[in-house]
Amino acid sequence: MQHYIRFADSLSAWFGKAFGWLIILMTFGMSYEVLVRYLFNRPTPWALDISFIMYGTLFMMGGAYTLSRGGHVRGDFLYRLWSDRTQAKVDLTLYVLFFFPGILALIFTGWKYASRSWGYAEVSVNSPAGIPIYQFKTVIVAAGLLLLIQGIAQVFRCIICIREGQWPPVASDVEETETLLMKKAAEVQSNDRA
């Protein structure tokens, strides 16, 4: 189980970080649009659609990465008060009852939409430039598959926690500002005592 968790976490991290670079492309694209629109009065017909597609792709392909790091929104006002084993049992139940059915529906429905879209080379009806969107619909399936792989890893984490009584460590590469400030305040407080 540990090997699979490491594999899923590294796969999710690779895709999340790779697609994270879309934010740079979006910034350049929108900056270009603002420049030509307001300086030269020559707006582009494609900029808005491309920014929607890139943001949607970034959001969807980052889902498994966020799940692997425990970064999704959670109503933990009760959850954090429970023991690790109780948390793992609740998480496991919720993964089986809600997560996997939803992800499987996303994959199968996404496949249907993507294959139909590729079949007639679908373009955006809202775009004056006729931006192709069939490749974007393929992202739905890819994101669903990544979430499925990561979801299995999360189930393994739950099983390990139920057996051992504590959560296995989760890789982290980003820390919340609030956490950093609390650490710094605790550091200052301990220095003041000394």
Tens-place pLDDT, residues 107-124: 999 999 999 999 998 888
- pLDDT for res 14: 92
Longest Cα pair distance anywhere in the chain, in angstroms?
Answer: 72
* CA distance to 15, 37, 68, 81, 167, per residue, from 51 (Å): 19, 15, 26, 41, 38
- pLDDT for res 191: 86
Give the chain's radius of gyration (CA, Å): 21
% of the chain at pLDDT higher than 90: 47
- pLDDT for res 89: 95
- pLDDT for res 110: 93
Supply the angle between the helices 47-61 and 134-164 in degrees, to the nearest 10. 20
Average per-residue pLDDT for the chain: 89
154 pLDDT tier (thresholds 50, 70, 90): very high
pLDDT tens per residue across span 59-81: 999 999 999 988 777 777 788 88
pLDDT tens per residue across span 155-184: 999 999 999 999 888 877 777 777 788 888
pLDDT tens per residue across span 15-37: 999 998 889 988 988 898 899 98
* CA distance to 15, 55, 132, 183, per residue, from 128 (Å): 31, 19, 11, 52
- pLDDT for res 92: 96
pLDDT tens per residue across span 33-46: 899 989 999 888 88
Query: How far apart, in whole angstroms, are the C-alpha atoms of residue 29 and residue 151?
Result: 34
Tell me the torsion sign for CA atoms 28, 29, 30, 33.
Answer: positive
